[in-house]
Structure formats: C-alpha cells, structure tokens
Structure 1
Amino acid sequence: MVNILNMSNKKICIKLCLLFLLLSCEEEIKLSFSEITPTTVNNTIVEVNIPEAIGIDETADSINTKIHKHVIESLHIGNTGEISSTSIEESVALFNEEFKTFKLDFPETNEIWEAQIDGDVMFLSSEIVSIAITTYKNTGGAHGNLNISILNFDAQSGKKISNEDLFTDFKQFQNIAQTQFDRKFKEQDLFFENSPFQLSNNIGYTQEGILLLYNTYEIAPYSSGTIELTIPFNLLKSVLAFNRF
C-alpha cells in the first residue's frame, strides 16, 4: 500500500528545493566587468582605463553611462556647466585641443599637460557594486591634481546609490565611523582643523569592510595625501542596507 503521507512529504520537500533554487538563482551575481581604454587617433597626453559592465542590458547600460559621465566631467577644462562632450573619446580630443591652444598662447613654456583616469571594481555582490575612479590631471602648476571618487550602484537595477542609502541608519553609521576614526587617528590632530567630525563624500564597499576615503586637502594638508579608513563589516551588521554576499 502506498504511503500517502510519505508521498505528500516528498512533494513538499521537492517544492521547497525548487523554491530554494529559484531564490538562489535570483541572488546570483548577474554582472561582470571588463576593461576598456577609450582614446583617439592623435591622443598623446590622456590615458583612460575604466571598467565596463557586462550583463543585463538595462543594468549594464545604466552603470556604464554613469561611469562615462564621470570621466567626461573629469576631463573637462573649465566650468562643468559648460560640458559639451557626449563621449569619452570626444572629451579626450578636446583635452588635447585645449593643450594645443595653451601651447599657442604660451609658446615659451615647457609644461606638458597630462591626464590619467583608472577605474577599479572594489566590490561586487548580487546586490551592490562599488567602483573607485582615480583621476590624475596636470594642466600646469607646481603639481597635478589627484582625486579618487567612489561610485556605488545597485547591482540589480544599475541605479546609483547615495551614501545615505548605503545604510539603514545613517546617523548610527556616522557615530560608528567617528569612533573608529578617532581610534585610528587619535594622535593626528590636524584632521578637520579642530572642526567637528565629518564623513567623507567617498564611501564604498570593499572585501574588508566599508571604506571612507578623504582626498587630498579634504581634512588635512596636501602633505598628508589621501586618508583612508576601513571599518570591518562585523562592526556594521546592524546598519548595512545591502547584502555583501
């Protein structure tokens, strides 16, 4: 005689397994990245190496559009409200043309302009991707300008994530960050020039934890360079808005 109860249990188990597999598939990382190096034929002073998202078309397109926009803005000379470039290649060409104009205006100068932009995927999970874009630009002067920007994206939609939306309780995160910052830099009282603690504009996920990155001049003199603080994930379990797996 067939055991109806056992058959029913087996059906339930099969359904649960299928549900588990379905949920697991939904959590798979659907994005990957390759590196691209957009340039122009006559370019001699600009180098761009950035990640390009590959995967679901809408998601990848959204991420790539925002990365390209950032590069275009970084290469622009002058007011960002006057940007006319619609592609990185066009921005590279314009940067070269600006240098040629500069040399015509100041033929006696030996200064050489240069720009290098490198992008790196710091973190990628099924829910979030954090990308660091390092820009070095020298258009004359005592030294060039180095700037690192962290861009966070929803790995499912490709939408950019604000710093506030990285956490379920932004105020609590700020309190944790201040405690960790004071602990690491307690003997370096030049930071913030005696003003209250402030979070960095550049916050992102890494394999080790949440990174706060302060660019040169943000909170300390030029000689201090870039200031970094990584807060381990185990200290932030209660406030993380995104799954890091």
Structure 2
Amino acid sequence: MKRILLVLALPFALLSCGRKEEKKLTPISYEMKTFRVESKIHCKTDSLCAFYQVSYPAFTGLDTTVLAILKKDIDSSVSMGNPEAEGKTMEQIGAGFIQDYEDFRKEMPEVPGSWNYKANVTVETLTDSLLSLSVQEEYYTGGAHGGYGIYYINLNPRTGEEFTLENLLKPGFEDPLTKIGEKIFRKVRELSDTASLNASYFEFPDDKFQLNRNFGFKKEGIVFYYNSYEIAAYASGPTEVLIPYEEIKDWLKH
C-alpha cells in the first residue's frame, strides 16, 4: 500500500513554516517492499535452513541523489555491525550471509540449528524537512542467544543531509536535554535520583549520564535507544529513553 507524505503537527513542521517556497515540492510517497534470500541447501526442515530478510520503504518523489544516500544508510544498518560489510548493498550482505551458512553447514553438518536475519525499516516521521527511520533487526547464527538491535536514520528528504538535534533545538540545548534524559532513564530503570549509575551496573564514563547518538524522531518525542552491551551487560537488555516534545518545548526552534 502506498503511503504519502505526512506533514505532522510536530516541531519539524514548524521548521518549514514561514519560508517562501521557490518551487512547488514534489509529494513524497512510499510503499513497503521486502528483500529475502534463502539457503538452497539444508532447507528441508525449519531447524536446518537459513534466510536473510529486510522489509523497507521504497520512496518516490525524492531526488536520485537523496535516494542513493538513503539506500546506503539503510544498507549499512542491516549488516549486524559486520565491518566486512562496509560499502556493500543489502543484496550483497544477504548473499554473503547465506554463503557463510552454507559453508558452515558443509564443514559441520551435524550441528543443529538454523541461521536467520530479519530487519524491519519503519518510517517514524516523514515531513518535507525530516525523514526519520528506525531499523529493527534480529538475528541468530548459533550460540546461546541471538542478536537484537534498533538503529535510527535521520535526514532531510529534500537535500539528503543528516538531520541532527541542532536542526530542531536552539543552541545550548545539550545540558537541559541531558538532564531530562537522565530523569527519564532513571525512571525507566527504576533508579533513585541519587543512585550511582556504575554501581547499578550501567557503564557511563565518570559515572555521569550521557545521551548517545542513536536517536530518532517519533510523533511523541525524541527517542534515544541504548542497545544491549552498549551501557550494560546483555542480561540487562536495551534501554529506550523517550523525551516528549512537551518536556523540551522551550528549546524547540520556531
């Protein structure tokens, strides 16, 4: 199903208000597509098979340069963080994933279990000045447990430039935003206002809370996502810090 540009009643919409448009902007729309590749051997049962799958939005109304930037960003986010995948497309990454499985299966046919990778790229916000995507991936290649992560891509859909916090917030926002983020982090993790973060098994330099660079823009607010292993052991799981726009309304650009 094709979905069109949604100019939300959000702070980003304000960024374009009051500007004189030099020309009429082409409407942006998208429809979801799925890329999937499967192993051609050892697929008789679910326990002996492998697949790599990515569901992603395919856009129309974007400049070809922006489309190229966007594809590169998405491709780099669906590689399980493998440095050898740098510069490769999802099609190449998927082919390599399946080839690795088949090579492994040939060497160790007696080892049970399947390999799988699945990613969903979701449009969180789409306006004429901001496209914010979340990339949710989960995978398993053997071992005690699989992997899981959420990553964000933010750019200006008209220019392809990265959309940063500085594009939305007034200068000097860093300390106030961090204080609000820490308050929400402690609430999510059920920590008191005075509890030591490091003593609570969260790893922050000098025991001082920091917002990370993995953030996105949702309808409700700015979300910062700490993946497993980033600031705590795997058993602690990931942490999502959602800062409502209402909490930072004094720092929003108008």
Place the TM-score, normalised by the shorter chain, in its bin: 0.7 to 0.9
What residue is the counterpart of 1:234 in the other structure? 246
Structure 1 residue 139 corresponds to structure 2 residue 136: no
TM-score (norm 1): 0.74
User: Following the alignment from structure 1 to structure 2, what is the Cα–Cα distance between the partners of residues 61 and 170?
Assistant: 31
User: Following the alignment from structure 1 to structure 2, what is the Cα–Cα distance between the partners of residues 173 and 84?
Assistant: 32
Q: CA contact under 8 A between 1:53 and 1:63: conserved in structure 2?
A: no
Q: CA contact under 8 A between 1:115 and 1:138: conserved in structure 2?
A: yes
User: Following the alignment from structure 1 to structure 2, what is the Cα–Cα distance between the partners of residues 40 and 85?
Assistant: 19
User: Following the alignment from structure 1 to structure 2, what is the Cα–Cα distance between the partners of residues 223 and 26?
Assistant: 53
User: Following the alignment from structure 1 to structure 2, what is the Cα–Cα distance between the partners of residues 224 and 110?
Assistant: 28
Q: 1:70 offset after TM fit, Å?
A: 2.4
Q: CA contact under 8 A between 1:53 and 1:61: conserved in structure 2?
A: no
What residue is the counterpart of 1:74 in the other structure? 80
One-letter amino acid matched to 1:55? G
Assess, with a 3 A threshold, how the Cα gap between structure 1 residues 37 and 25 changes in structure 2: closer, same or farther.
farther
Q: 1:143 offset after TM fit, Å?
A: 0.7
User: Following the alignment from structure 2 to structure 1, what is the Cα–Cα distance between the partners of residues 71 and 211?
Assistant: 27
What residue is the counterpart of 2:14 in the other structure? none
User: Following the alignment from structure 1 to structure 2, what is the Cα–Cα distance between the partners of residues 70 and 164?
Assistant: 23
Q: 1:54 offset after TM fit, Å?
A: 2.1
What residue is the counterpart of 2:5 in the other structure? none
User: Following the alignment from structure 2 to structure 1, what is the Cα–Cα distance between the partners of residues 230 and 28?
Assistant: 33
Assess, with a 3 A threshold, how the Cα gap between structure 1 residues 191 and 211 changes in structure 2: closer, same or farther.
farther
What residue is the counterpart of 1:159 in the other structure? 161
User: Following the alignment from structure 1 to structure 2, what is the Cα–Cα distance between the partners of residues 22 and 65?
Assistant: 30
User: Following the alignment from structure 2 to structure 1, what is the Cα–Cα distance between the partners of residues 184 and 91?
Assistant: 42
Deviates more, 1:84-93 or 1:131-140: 84-93
User: Following the alignment from structure 2 to structure 1, what is the Cα–Cα distance between the partners of residues 147 and 169?
Assistant: 31
Deviates more, 1:201-210 or 1:47-56: 47-56
What residue is the counterpart of 2:52 in the other structure? 46
Q: CA contact under 8 A between 2:75 and 2:88: conserved in structure 1?
A: no
How do 1:1-245 residues align onto structure 2 when only pairs under 5 Å count? 23=20, 30-40=27-37, 44-57=50-63, 58-71=65-78, 73-74=79-80, 76=82, 80=83, 82-83=84-85, 86-162=88-164, 167-168=169-170, 169-187=173-191, 190=200, 192-193=202-203, 195-240=207-252
Unaligned runs of 5+ in 2: 1-16, 41-49
Q: 1:49 offset after TM fit, Å?
A: 0.7
Assess, with a 3 A threshold, how the Cα gap between structure 1 residues 104 and 226 changes in structure 2: closer, same or farther.
same
- Which secondary structure state, in structure 1, belongs to the residue aligned with residue 249 of structure 2? coil
TM-score (norm 2): 0.72
- Which secondary structure state, in structure 2, belongs to the residue aligned with residue 39 of structure 1? strand
One-letter amino acid matched to 1:63? L
Aligned length: 218
Larger Rg: 1
Q: 1:220 offset after TM fit, Å?
A: 3.5
Assess, with a 3 A threshold, how the Cα gap between structure 1 residues 237 and 38 changes in structure 2: closer, same or farther.
same
Assess, with a 3 A threshold, how the Cα gap between structure 1 residues 74 and 55 changes in structure 2: closer, same or farther.
farther
Unaligned runs of 5+ in 1: 1-19
Assess, with a 3 A threshold, how the Cα gap between structure 1 residues 163 and 115 changes in structure 2: closer, same or farther.
farther
